[in-house]
Structure 1
Amino acid sequence: MTLISISSATEQDVPDLNVLVNSAYRGESSKKGWTSEADLLGGIRTDEAGLQAMLQNPNVTILKYEEAGQLVGCVSLEKKGQNLYLGMLTVSPDAQANGIGKRLLAAAEQIAIEKQYRAITMTVITVRHELIAWYERRGYRATGEKQPFPDDPRFGLPKQPLEFIVMEKVV
């Protein structure tokens, strides 16, 4: 039986988190998985400085998912008023479709319940129909709100016009 753990990431995890997130979202390696954004965005998804800044924010927690001591998933959670904002849900392309994303989502929802947040919110690129459907199957709903994709190369270089929908699940 493989030892599985979900715990809070620390600054020592930043290099591994950086490799994991970028491998799952961008570039050729990401195309092995179904969550790739490589056809929509060029550039990187994050960098070590950005991850470091997230971990230094007292309102942010990054959960890491490890199997047998190997980092294979993560998710960021940020307190925003009465809501918990979920972002950067990541599973290694080689480990996708094994329930890791569902387990990370369940861990985030458990934290939201324990800390008595109103809802978990997130933004999803509108053209990511399979991903939106995946979240809908887990009880998340579009709020009707849309947000522009940031005009900042730190978040990627859009290959087409992009925008986000806001989704939420009341906990």
Structure 2
Amino acid sequence: MSVSKASISDLSELLSLVNTTYRGESSKKGWTDESAFVGGDIRVDKQALLGDLTDPNFYILKYTDANEQIIGCVNLHKKYDKLHLGMFAVRPELQSAGVGKMLLQAADEYAKTLNCKAINLTVIQGRDELIAYYQRRNYVLTGNSFSFPVEYHKFGVPLQEITLVEMEKEIDRII
């Protein structure tokens, strides 16, 4: 099992992982299911993911098992002196097995190599279990919030008004 940088050859496996982790019946086995908030079957499409895999400002980490199957990933985007963490996905049946912890540690190390001062992310307001998960990993609520971006409606229709809250971890708090 290892964490490494994803490449274009991982595209279809990453698409399947992300979409089944956040949407559909299999997502209900884990704590990342968004079906109560967003309707639709896809979280990301091929075009968007391909764009991230080929953009030098994005870095997608993958976690592979002993059979070289991708069982987790995280998308990292450098914005100025911060690293934005998104598309954090672990196969639902393997959540709570330490895969996410390894991916977040790798993200921390990557932030250090880029001399970023912080890592930030957004969480759907009301997802208290996710907020608590990140707080246990030294992320704090910044007080900033955002409406669910209109451009993402192609990846699902909000079933209610969605507000995203920002969380951040300062690099000096990365352990």
TM-score of the aligned structures, taking structure 2 as reference length = 0.93
Unaligned runs of 5+ in 2: none
SS in structure 1 of the partner of residue 43 of structure 2: coil
The AA in structure 2 aligned to 1:12 is S
Q: List, as ranges, runs of 4+ consecutive aligned residues in structure 1 with deviation greater than 4 Å.
A: none
Identity fraction in percent: 48
Which of 16, 25, 39 matches 1:19? 16
CA distance in structure 2 between the partners assigned to 1:6 and 1:155 by the alignment: 27
Q: Deviations over 1:85-124 (max 9, x none)?
A: 0001100012111011111001000111222100001111
One-letter identity of the residue aligned with 1:21: V
CA distance, structure 1, for counterparts of residue 69 and residue 93 of structure 2: 12
Q: Residues 8 and 61 of structure 1 are in contact (CA less than 8 Å); yes or no, is this contact kept in structure 2? A: yes
Residue equivalent to 2:87:
88
1:41-60 residue pairs with structure 2 within 5 A? Answer: 41-43=38-40, 44-60=42-58
1:27-49, CA deviations, whole angstroms, 9 ceiling, x for partnerless residues? Answer: 11100111111121111100111
- Number of aligned pairs? 168
Alignment of 1:1-171 (within 5 A): 4-43=1-40, 44-68=42-66, 69-152=68-151, 153-171=153-171
Give the superposed CA RMSD.
0.9
Partner SS state of residue 17, structure 1: helix
Counterpart of 1:81 in structure 2: which amino acid? Y
Q: Deviations over 1:51-73 (max 9, x none)?
A: 00111211000000001111100
Q: What is the CA distance between 1:147 and its match in structure 2?
A: 0.8
Please list every run of 5 or more consecutive structure 1 residues that lacks an aligned counterpart in the other structure: none
Shift of 1:154: 2.5
